[in-house]
Structure formats: structure tokens, C-alpha cells
Structure 1
Amino acid sequence: MDRSLTRLAVALVVGAMAPLFDSTIVSVALHSLAHDLHAPVATIQWVSTAYLLAAGVTVPVVGWLQRRVGGKRLWMSALVVFLVGSVLCSLAWSAGALIAARVVQGVGAGAMLPLLTTLLMQAAGGKNLGRLMGVVSLPTALGPILGPVVGGLILGAASWRWLFWVNVPFAVAGLVLAALLVPADGPTSRPRLDVVGLLLLSPAVVALLLGLSGASEGGGFARAAVWGPLAAGLVLLTGFVLWALRRRGAALVDLRLLRHRPLAASATLLFLTGASLYGVMLLLPLSFQELRGTDALGAGLLLVPQGVGALVSRTLAGRLNDRLGPRPVALAGFAVLGLATLPFAFAGPGTGVWWLVLLLLVRGVGLGAVTIPLMAVGFVGLARDEVPHASIITRITMQVGGAVGVAVLAVVLQDALATLPPVEAFQHSFAWAAGLTAVSVLLALLLPGRPRPVAPAAAEAQLEEVGA
């Protein structure tokens, strides 16, 4: 990558570290929050749920906002919103105040995460996408792994309020770097907001996430609080698809881009990758605590090798993606991921801890190898004005996929615990997780293979189209 692109990537990734760590760092503090704020756990769960839903509402409108106000201004505004929300969270005096502040945080995070990808993809001009995604994926890979560990360390030494003060240095540094290193840009057009599309898509995403988040409670998908929002979300989503196809380029999100095979394959596989990543991240700490007797911090520390594996493999995966194409890299990554997940379907309390650490390290290598080509391939061959739509599509599919993975594996585990001993119940659930990865291996065959050499005249025409 050239120096200007590297500087842009550093500025954006530093700012993005705050929301990506924050989304997982709070998960270990729910019981402490319930005790200190004198609220039931069912109420405190909304500290996480409200954040997730607020981000889901915001993501679909990011492309329109970027065209209206410009990328740099939107990025810095979203970072300020997230910073204000973090300070408000740390000062919360009740559960209701904390939940409201988390909504503010979620709005800022929902704008930042797809915009991070959009700004970098537009600046790259279609070149070295694999290496670039290696940089972008750093906070994405480490957030779910290190967030609970950092949260546990903070809770062991200080008040839960410091969980939110940790965001402040990242946000301030991100603002300074963005002001200095992100190129100034103005509005690219003055498009009208697709109000009907917004009223269909944002509530659809919220309803789906809300329904899926409740599936982990007793009763699973049979509860009206689960299937009701899911049904409403599917109806709204169907309505949006029909509306967007009629509106074509004027739609809130241009779904015609899914005719582009690389983007369609990327979105599908990111859905399954999100399900595998977040679903297994539900099972792993629970199994460590229930079967091995570790505390929350100990379970979080056991997950560190997975983050290390993802960190180690992401740079190599980016280079191989640019040289060999996404198909072989993704196939190898999914194979490694599946092979490293399957042994957990046979593990128990007597399994050696170093064997588990090795498996998690290898599993992290697979996750890093998978994420890079899937995130990069969706943008291959797209024009500059199509990139924001692709960013929104990939962000929503991975977010909903993660919620589906957590919901499905939670229900599988609940049903297994009702009829099987705990060890066998967790083994059964990990077998399901390995099955999700096996499906991904087959679908990875749809990804493009080795990139074809581009003639000089054609390459010049492509660059002119991307830079237009």
C-alpha cells in the first residue's frame, strides 16, 4: 500500500478500535451492573441489546449520509457521538440512564463500522484489497477475543464505569488522526432520502436482531417474544427487497449489486462466518466455566490464543488473496477452521488445557484466513459510488449472521442440556458449529479463483471508472 493509504488506514482503524472493543467488553460486566444499579438481570441485558439495535437502525442510512455530508465529516461526527455516549455511560446513575447512553453509543458505532470499509475501499481504487482488509480486520478480529479479557481485568481492579472511560483515549486519538490524515471531501451529491426504504429496512434489521437476541432464553424460538419480531422482520425485509428492486439506484441500499457474483458470495459466506464466530464465542466461555470450573476472567484468557492466531494469519491471508485469489484462501481457511472446531465435539473436563490452547490458536488462524478474502472479494469490480452499498450489505449480513449463530447454538445447547449430561450437551453443540463451517466450505467454491491479468488499457479504464 502507498503511504497515503497507510496513513488513512491507521487513522480510521485507531478510531474504530473503540466501538469494536466496546461491543464485547461490556459483556462480562452484566452481573456487576445489575448489582450496582439495583436492577434485575433481565433489565440489564438491554445494555447490550439496546446498543445492538441502535447500530442496526443506523447502518442502512450510512451510504445516504456519506453522499450528503461527505465521508470525513460523517466519520468525525460519528466518532464524536460515540465519545459522548461513552462519557454518558460512565456517568449513568440508573439502569435506564445507562441503556439510553448505550443507544447513543450504538448510533455512533453503527455509522462508523460500514464507513470504515467504504472510505478505505474507495481510496484503494480496487488495488491490493486483500492487504488492505488485513489492516481493516485487525480490530474486527481482536475485538470479540480481547474485549472480554480487558473487561475482566478492569472489573478486577476498578469500577464498571472504567469500562467506558477506556473508550475515551481511542476516540480522542481517532479524532486527532482523522483531522490530520483523512482527506477532506465534500458532499458528492444531494440525493433524496429513500424514506419508504428506511422505514422498511431499519425496522426489519431491528426486529430480526431483537427476535434472535431473545432466542437464547428459555423456550427458544417457540416464544412469541422471539417468533413475533422474527416474522415481522422477515415481512419488512421482503417489502424492502420488492421496493428496492423497483427503485433501482435510488433505493436506500441498491440490491441490484447482488447480481454481482463476488458480492453475493461474499455476503452469504460472511453470514455463515458471523454465525460460526459469534456462535462458538457463546459456547467456548460457557464450556470453560461449566465443565472446567474457570471464572469469567479465566475463560476470557483461554480465548486469547484464538485472537493471536487471527492476528498472525491476517497479513499472510491478505497477500495470498491478492496473489492467488479469494477461493483457495477461503477454502483453506474454512478447512482449518472446521478441523480446529471439530475436536471440541469430543472434548471434556479431562482434556488437557494445552491441547485446547493449541486448537484455539489454529482456529484463530482459520478465522483470520477466512475473513480477509470474504471482506475483500465483495468489492472487486465495483464502481466508487457502489462501494457504500456493498459495505452496508456485508455489514448487515455479518451482523445478522452473528445473531443467528448465537441464537441457534443457544437453542441447541438448551435442548441438549434438557436431555443429556452437560459434557455431552456441549459436545453436541460444538458438532453443530462444525457443521456450519462444513457448509461454508462448499459455498466457498462459488468465490472467484486466481485474478486474471488486466491489460494496460483496461486497467487504466478501470481506474478512471473507480476514481470518477
Structure 2
Amino acid sequence: MTTQAIPRSRAQVIALVLVLGGVLTGLDMTIVNVALKHLATEFGAPLATVGWVVTGYTLALAAVIPVTAWAVGRFGARRVYLTAVGVFLLGSVLAGAAWDIGSLIGFRVLQGLGGGMIMPVSMTILARAAAPGELGRAMSTMGLGVLIGPLSGPVLGGWLVDEVSWRWMFFLNLPIGAAVVLLALRLFPPDDALTQRRLDLPGLLMLSPGLALVLYGVTVGGEHGDFTAWTLLAIVTGLALVAGFLVRAKVIRDPLIDLGLFRDRVFAAGVGTLALYASGYFGSMFLMPLYFQLARGESATGAGLLIIPAALGSGLIMQVAGRLVDRFPPGLIVLTGISVGVTGMLAFAAQLAVDGPYWGLLIAVTLIGVGGGGTMMPTMTAATRTLPPERTAAGSAVLGLVSALASATGTAVLSVVLTANLAASAPGAAIQQTYLLVAGLVACALLPALMLPRRQP
């Protein structure tokens, strides 16, 4: 991607194209969740097996992210982005045409391999295209797809399953993806001279399987509400592989992930803030529709509609926060966003055991969305904008990896906690207890956020 100055209007158009790409992967993280029971009936498969339609996608998505920075340097951000979207669309077509549960799971893995690269490469493209004083504005625009996609997935998925066909959950990606490819070919600047850095293959063979094993363990444990010996073995083995990668990365010349990034105080603080907040935020998005279904008797579509205020709140405030982060210290904006998010979660939890009025619940849902929009994208902007151009791809890959791992791990762990609470309490009270844990987890993000700049340079 060229590092020459790009007109402000052109950078905003590029950001809008990247929004469409973010919608692709964002939707597919959650759109299938409401269809699992239907797919089990359709294919005559146990629900535990059908769960791998989601788990396989998540594992593939996380496993491919570590190779992104190397691929961008070797082949160019524009080429890698177009290839990733192409692989994702191929997986979408095949998933929509799946003939049994095994083929559907396999094609979802293919989708994840393409989708895992889209977000970090998007951040790299945008960081290089935007002027230094406009990065927050451009990132806030691109972030619409990242936050709104996952929140809209349950609504759209429920409607497609109920009124059209489950296959259209995947075929829907085709017109969006085709528009992304055509616009990217026309608008994205050509790539700069490419590096000849060799791929750290031993590191890749440790890190990607290690991450996949950790995610497998926490996800399966979350699905069953218990961590068996096998899931614990997977987690321990995965952590050992990741630890081996980290030890090796400190002594070789060109590691798969540049650990030197963490010497940057702002980048390290951004990663810590994002990890804690994303795990709680996306975990809360998992709990919210469950409450409306289990405790209030809403349908899948109805529960999805009731969390739309969170999507609207996050999308609107993200536009404001993105502009503010270019003019004011990001630390102040992020601390405010976290505080609003925690307030919303506590307000939501306070009403669960007593079946609070819907208007009160929706106000709390909106505050949760506002907190997410005012925290995550400003944090990513603050973490990446001080990096030199040659390290932008590596920084974006780390942030994308942290976000994917945190959301998957937070959701899985909260599933285990919720299962235990449901065994001892009514649904409303059980989800309330779990939500209090979520609020505490998100509040912990205040600690690393205190290290983000609170004075404008």
C-alpha cells in the first residue's frame, strides 16, 4: 500500500469500502448462532456436532491471523485483502450449498481462513491511507462493520431461518463481497515495494495450532458447561505451544509476530484494554439475547430485535468518538467509554431478577452499546497511530488477534459460569449473577486504559 498522501475524501471512501468488508466477517460471527437448532433438525445431527459450524469458523479465523503481517509484507496489503475476500466468498458459496453437516463445517473453516485476514489487513490499509490527524475519523467509519455486524447477525439470521432459508445466511455474502472486490480494485492504491522476509514456519506451526487448541478447549468447555480432562489438556497443550513461540520469537531475527511492539507503552496499554473490554463486551452480547429468550419468552428474532439499540448506540457514538480522538487525548475518551459501558451493564443486571420494564432494559442496552463504540475503536486508533508505517501491519495483526481471542474466550468462559448459575437459580437471577461478573471484567479494563495518553501531544 502506498505511503503517499491520499486526499481526505478518498481515505473516507476507502474506509466505507472497508466497512462492507467488516460487515461480511462481523455478520458471520453471529448470524449462524440462532440457526443451530434448525440445522440440527435439517441434517439430523446432534446439537453438539452442529455447534462446530460456529466453533470451526472461530478456530480458523484466529489461527490465520498470525500470518497476516508476513503476508502483507510479502505480497502487499491490496493483494492480500482481495485474496482474503475471495476465499471468504468461496467458502460462503460452498457453505450455502452444503449437503451434510460435515461439508458445512468444512466450508465454514474455509470461510474463517479468509475472514480472519480481512480485519487486520483493513486496519493496515486504513492506517496507511489516512492522514495522521484523520486516523480516528477513518477508523470510526470502518468500525461500523466490526460492531454492528455481530449485533445485527442474530436479527438477520433469525428472519432468514424463519422466512426464507438457512442457506441464504451464506449466499447473502455474495452481493456484498462482489461490491467490496469491485470497489477495492478501483479505489485502493497500489502496493509499495514488497519485502523478501522469510516466513517463520516453525513459529507458525507453534502459534496457530496453539491458539486453535486454546480456543477449542475454552469453546467446547463453554458449550458443555464443564471443562473435562480433554478440554483442559487441549488448553494446556495450546498454552505450551504459544509459550514456546514466545520464547523463540525473542531470539530469532524475523518472528511471525513482532514482540518489540509491546515496548511501545501506548500499544501495550491498548492491547490490554482491548483484551479485557472485548471479552466482557462480546460476552454480554451472548448473554443478552439469552435473557430475553429464557426469562421473557421472546423468539430468536424478537430477542435479536431487542438488542438493536446496542448496535445503534455503538454505531452513532463511534462516529463521535472517532472524531474526538483526533482532537483530544485518547485516554480520556476510552476511560469515559469504559465507564459508560460498565454503567449500562450494571443497570441491565439490576433489572434482570425482577423482570424490569422493557423501557428500562432498552436504556441499559443502549448504554452498553455506547460504551462499546466509545471504547474499542478509539483504543485501536490510539494503539496504532504512533507506530511507524513498516510496523502498522504487525500491530494491526496483533490487535485483530487479541480481539478475536478475547471475544471467543470471554463468551466461552461466561457460558460455563451461566450453566453453573442456571443449575442453582431461575434464568433471570442466573443471568444477573453472570452479568455482574461481566461488569467486573469490563471495569478491569480501566487499569490499562489509565496508561493511554491523557494529554494531547
Decide whether aligned partners of structure 1 residues 160 and 219 sit closer, same or farther in structure 2, where only a CA change above 3 A counts.
Answer: closer
> Deviation of residue 349 (structure 1)?
5.3
> Deviation of residue 95 (structure 1)?
0.6
Match of 2:140 among 134, 138, 159: 134
Q: RMSD of the TM alignment (CA)?
A: 1.4
* Aligned match of 1:273: 277
CA–CA distance in structure 2, aligned partners of residues 329 and 380 of structure 1: 16
Match of 2:26 among 15, 20, 28: 20
CA–CA distance in structure 2, aligned partners of residues 397 and 295 of structure 1: 33
* Aligned match of 1:83: 89
CA–CA distance in structure 2, aligned partners of residues 419 and 42 of structure 1: 23
- How do 1:140-179 residues align onto structure 2 when only pairs under 5 Å count? 140-179=146-185
Q: Do residues 119 (structure 1) and 138 (structure 2) align?
A: no
Kept in 1: contact 2:258–2:394 (CA 8 A): yes
What TM-score does the superposition give when structure 1 sets the normalisation length?
0.93
Kept in 1: contact 2:8–2:130 (CA 8 A): no
Q: Do residues 251 (structure 1) and 280 (structure 2) align?
A: no
> Deviation of residue 199 (structure 1)?
0.9
> Deviation of residue 187 (structure 1)?
5.0
Kept in 1: contact 2:22–2:149 (CA 8 A): no
Alignment: residue pair count:
450
For residue 133 of structure 2, give the secondary structure of its aligned residue in structure 1: coil
Decide whether aligned partners of structure 1 residues 237 and 312 sit closer, same or farther in structure 2, where only a CA change above 3 A counts.
Answer: same
Structure 2: which amino acid aligns with 1:117? M
Q: Do residues 397 (structure 1) and 407 (structure 2) align?
A: no
CA–CA distance in structure 1, aligned partners of residues 13 and 350 of structure 2: 46
Q: Do residues 214 (structure 1) and 188 (structure 2) align?
A: no
* Aligned match of 1:325: 329
CA–CA distance in structure 2, aligned partners of residues 334 and 399 of structure 1: 19
Kept in 2: contact 1:330–1:370 (CA 8 A): yes
Structure 2: which amino acid aligns with 1:267? V
- How do 1:372-387 residues align onto structure 2 when only pairs under 5 Å count? 372-387=377-392
Structure 1: which amino acid aligns with 2:141? V
* Deviations 1:3-31, CA, capped at 9 Å, x for gaps: 22122222222233212212211111111
Structure 1: which amino acid aligns with 2:406? G
Structure 2: which amino acid aligns with 1:326? P
> Deviation of residue 309 (structure 1)?
0.3
Kept in 2: contact 1:15–1:173 (CA 8 A): no
Q: Do residues 313 (structure 1) and 317 (structure 2) align?
A: yes
* Aligned match of 2:264: 260
* Aligned match of 1:298: 302
Decide whether aligned partners of structure 1 residues 23 and 423 sit closer, same or farther in structure 2, where only a CA change above 3 A counts.
Answer: closer
Extract unaligned runs of 5+ from structure 2.
1-6
CA–CA distance in structure 1, aligned partners of residues 391 and 456 of structure 2: 21
Q: Do residues 420 (structure 1) and 425 (structure 2) align?
A: yes
For residue 355 of structure 2, give the secondary structure of its aligned residue in structure 1: coil
CA–CA distance in structure 1, aligned partners of residues 323 and 32 of structure 2: 34
CA–CA distance in structure 2, aligned partners of residues 185 and 444 of structure 1: 34
Question: Structure 1 segments of 4 or more deviating over 4 A?
Answer: none
Kept in 1: contact 2:338–2:445 (CA 8 A): yes
> Deviation of residue 68 (structure 1)?
1.5
> Deviation of residue 59 (structure 1)?
0.6
Kept in 2: contact 1:56–1:205 (CA 8 A): yes
* Aligned match of 2:48: 42
What TM-score does the superposition give when structure 2 sets the normalisation length?
0.95
Kept in 2: contact 1:291–1:349 (CA 8 A): no
* Deviations 1:83-116, CA, capped at 9 Å, x for gaps: 1111101111111111111111111101211101
> Deviation of residue 230 (structure 1)?
1.1
Kept in 2: contact 1:21–1:144 (CA 8 A): yes
* Aligned match of 1:289: 293
Structure 1: which amino acid aligns with 2:267? L
For residue 93 of structure 1, give the secondary structure of its aligned residue in structure 2: coil
Kept in 1: contact 2:225–2:417 (CA 8 A): no
> Deviation of residue 125 (structure 1)?
5.1
Extract unaligned runs of 5+ from structure 1.
453-468
Kept in 2: contact 1:71–1:186 (CA 8 A): no
For residue 189 of structure 1, give the secondary structure of its aligned residue in structure 2: coil
* Aligned match of 1:455: none
CA–CA distance in structure 2, aligned partners of residues 67 and 178 of structure 1: 19
Decide whether aligned partners of structure 1 residues 225 and 351 sit closer, same or farther in structure 2, where only a CA change above 3 A counts.
Answer: same
Structure 2: which amino acid aligns with 1:283? L
For residue 346 of structure 1, give the secondary structure of its aligned residue in structure 2: helix
* Aligned match of 1:338: 342
Kept in 2: contact 1:273–1:398 (CA 8 A): no
